[in-house]
Structure 1
Amino acid sequence: MRTTSKHVLAAVAALSVTALALTGCAPDLAPGGASEATGASAVRVGMITSQTGPLAAYGEAYTAGFEAGLDYATDGTGTVDGRELDITWADDQGNPDTAVAKAKELIGEGTQILAGTVVSGIATSLAEQAEQNRVLYISGPAATDAITGVNDYTFRSGRQTYQDVATAGTFIGDPEGKKVVVFAQDTAFGQGNLAGVQAVLGGKGATVEGVLVAEDATEFTPFAQQILGAAPDLVFVAWAGASSGAMWTALAQQGVFDAAPVVTGLGDVATYNAYGDAGASISFLNHYFGGASGTDAEAAMIAALEDAGATPDLFSPDGFVAAQMIVQAVREGGDDVDGMVDALEGWSFESVKGELTVRAEDHALIQPMYQVRLVQGGADWVPELVEAVDADEVAPPVAGE
């Protein structure tokens, strides 16, 4: 295991909240937590994600992907070498205090593995709990770079902001001397994207400035005018949530698309039509869309999702990978959390997006990314792959170096 001096600074509150159990996944346990079928003790796993709140749809995709990944990683048994996984799902409601309270409750009940959340601010708080309580934590879709290298016990099953930004950089060639404006919400996610663009493209010679908007803003015309006033060579948009449609409409109405190339991340399926006619003009970086990779693991995931009445979506692989990582940790690490950490560090494996590697030095998840465009498919807009970007081309530098 590594040793790191980095710590997450987060305020935590101990609230009395009961975690929600997904009864369909929990085994029948004999007294003391032993499986009646095998006699072996079950491994307690706490899954914390948004089941309600503004990012509940992302949490739903993550959850469905996890169920598909667990089936894939355990060959349909739901067990690891005969051991049951006692899985409890908890709703973080998009609130860090709620998430921390539920994490504390789960840890108090003997949970050794926590996973999940789509919210960057929650992920940093859960990472702190993992270090304080010496439990394994595998962050979900939360993109903040702060998770990578934060402590020995924290990993991630999704991509991080640096990988998004590095993928955006593949659209503009040499950034030396160019001006990039980051248009984002004033949240941990948005601030992380601004910092990422400053680090990645600014580090290559671009001038980078931010136009940050309050998360509850509903009028975007003044911000679009601010972008135009900056005279950028590239506009990088980092946005999440229900206000996306109004934001894109404002940019189109104010002529931002005529003034500079615009690049952003392609969101979940529900957003494909929200870009309107602007969708044809945007250069999309992409973490994942259904059919992007063509791997065997992707085919298995899509089949499982469709059987469950779900659709492959942006964060389906994050849940799928989380299940693979949990199974690897239990299979190789047993009941020892430090052993679980050792089992994941440096691990390379085949997953939905192809070969992934958990970098030993800082637990970054090295993975390919995608350039995508939207095209009209009948009445709807649908993604089309432009190019797969090699994992090493967008790999973040080792945290702390």
Structure 2
Amino acid sequence: MQLRRNFMKSLALAVICSGLAMAQDIKIAHVYDKTGVLGAYAKQTQDGLLLGLEYATKGTMMVNGHKLVVIEKDTQGKPDVAKSMLEAAYADDKAAIAIGPTSSGAALAMLPVAEQFKKILLVEPAVADDITGIKWNRYIFRTGRCSSQDAVSNAIVLDKKGVNIATMAQDNAFGRDFVAAFRGSIKNAKLVHEEYLPPATSDFTAGAQRLFDKLKGLPGRKIIFINWAGSNAFKIADLKPERYGIEIATGGNILPALALYKPFPGLEGAAYYYYESPKNKVNDWFVAEHKKRFNNVPPDFFTAGGMAAGIAVVEALKKTSGSVDTEKLIATMEGMAFETPKGKMIFRKEDHQALQSMYHFKIKVDPAVAWAIPELVREIKIDEMVIPIRNKR
């Protein structure tokens, strides 16, 4: 009988200990556009996130004795679904921190949920300025670049006297935020026209003609700058802008999309990431590990962002000794610097936007490479870019 009582006590103790161990797990919800039109971008972010958590924990997936558990939630790229998925992650899954999503529309719907639950939402890679601007709240941080960082870096590349620029962008937050920041950064060149088209546009004839009419006949260099996601906006090249001496320019993109840049050797712009551009030990590990695990394919644009998000979470948790208390995390993350595949990022205290380098490139075409190579001209460093603070904090 005594033996049985001892056994039952031991069993009860084991159950209690098991429960405590489970309670110590730190749940991280990745609420992202797993399905939908941005699914390819989202898959990259997920791969990068897992690599980032692994790298920052030295392969243990532990911080201060706490196991990191990643929960996946699919927003389908729909704002209403994104909102409900984040609510479920915080309320039902007891996630301490959430990361995501891909779509800016989905992200904007998620921001009030983080405030309601008083939990951190680390935005990666949605880019709309409003996320860390007028729609921001103190629970929002972002490792992903914002539209202003894309715009300011591309303006730095093209802003020269004697240059006339017309922009073509999607008529949504992604497109309009970009152009607003681009316009504000142009000091020497002339912005002569802004063309906004529906996001699902596939026939660019009418928009292209308006662009041509605004640029043709102007003296100096003439450029159409394209800011587009999804469909192939390079189709405007089929309408032969070169007959008017008009060039095409755009920013960086994922490797499959870079294949579309092949007809444009010499095209210039600024990129968030290309695997050969950064020179640091984090990127060296990242590129080598990604190639090892994914059939010798290098990491891509959004994979780098996912890794940055994973590293940021781990570095914050290390500094709080594994505490997921939201106020401690906010105090820790404001102004926090951390090393990523892009080099140093810094969460700006005022709006929690990660300040980061961008990369001036010029397109090089190599028949042996499936995509056009955005060959590095130079790194555009944090202190060269004036990124507006828009949250009116």
Same fold (TM over 0.5): yes
Instruction: Report the CA distance between 1:206 and its aligned residue.
Output: 4.3
Instruction: Report the CA distance between 1:267 and its aligned residue.
Output: 0.8
CA contact (8 A) 2:249 2:267 kept: yes
Q: What amino acid is aligned across from residue 347 of structure 2 in structure 1?
A: V
Instruction: Report the CA distance between 1:282 and its aligned residue.
Output: 2.1
The answer to whether 1:280 aligns with 2:271 is no
The answer to whether 1:157 aligns with 2:143 is yes
Return 5+ residue gaps in structure 1 as ranges: 1-29
Alignment of 1:1-400 (within 5 A): 34=19, 36=21, 41-109=24-92, 110-149=94-133, 150-174=136-160, 179-201=164-186, 206-207=190-191, 209-231=193-215, 233-241=222-230, 243-244=231-232, 247-255=233-241, 258-277=244-263, 279-309=264-294, 311-333=298-320, 334-379=323-368, 380=370, 381-400=372-391
* Structure 2 CA distance for partners of 1:174 and 1:280, relative to 1, 3 Å: closer
CA contact (8 A) 1:40 1:83 kept: no
More displaced, 380-389 or 151-160? 380-389
Separation in structure 2 between the aligned mates of residue 258 and residue 55 of structure 1, nearest angstrom: 35
* Structure 2 CA distance for partners of 1:205 and 1:273, relative to 1, 3 Å: closer
* Structure 2 CA distance for partners of 1:157 and 1:33, relative to 1, 3 Å: farther
Counterpart position of 2:8: none
* Structure 2 CA distance for partners of 1:207 and 1:378, relative to 1, 3 Å: closer
CA contact (8 A) 1:130 1:137 kept: yes
CA contact (8 A) 2:154 2:182 kept: no
Deviations 1:156-186 (A, max 9, x none): 11111111111111223346x9653220112
CA contact (8 A) 1:349 1:357 kept: yes
Q: Which has the larger radius of gyration?
A: 2
DSSP 3-state at the match of 2:51: helix
Separation in structure 1 between the aligned mates of residue 327 and residue 192 of structure 2, nearest angstrom: 41
Separation in structure 2 between the aligned mates of residue 216 and residue 35 of structure 1, nearest angstrom: 50
More displaced, 228-237 or 282-291? 228-237
CA contact (8 A) 1:257 1:281 kept: no
More displaced, 341-350 or 142-151? 142-151
Deviations 1:198-231 (A, max 9, x none): 3322x77844542111122221111111111122
CA contact (8 A) 2:99 2:124 kept: yes
More helix by percentage: 2
Q: What amino acid is aligned across from residue 377 of structure 2 in structure 1?
A: V
TM-score (norm 1): 0.84
TM-score (norm 2): 0.86
DSSP 3-state at the match of 2:275: coil
Separation in structure 2 between the aligned mates of residue 209 and residue 33 of structure 1, nearest angstrom: 64
Counterpart position of 2:5: none
DSSP 3-state at the match of 1:75: coil
Separation in structure 2 between the aligned mates of residue 76 and residue 120 of structure 1, nearest angstrom: 32
DSSP 3-state at the match of 1:171: helix
CA contact (8 A) 2:165 2:189 kept: no
Q: What amino acid is aligned across from residue 82 of structure 1 in structure 2?
A: G
* Structure 2 CA distance for partners of 1:80 and 1:225, relative to 1, 3 Å: same
More displaced, 104-113 or 134-143? 104-113
Instruction: Report the CA distance between 1:132 and its aligned residue.
Output: 1.9
Q: What amino acid is aligned across from residue 372 of structure 1 in structure 2?
A: F
Number of aligned pairs? 365
Q: What amino acid is aligned across from residue 382 of structure 1 in structure 2?
A: I
Q: What amino acid is aligned across from residue 304 of structure 1 in structure 2?
A: E
Counterpart position of 2:10: none
CA contact (8 A) 2:63 2:317 kept: yes
More displaced, 60-69 or 324-333? 324-333
Q: What amino acid is aligned across from residue 237 of structure 1 in structure 2?
A: I
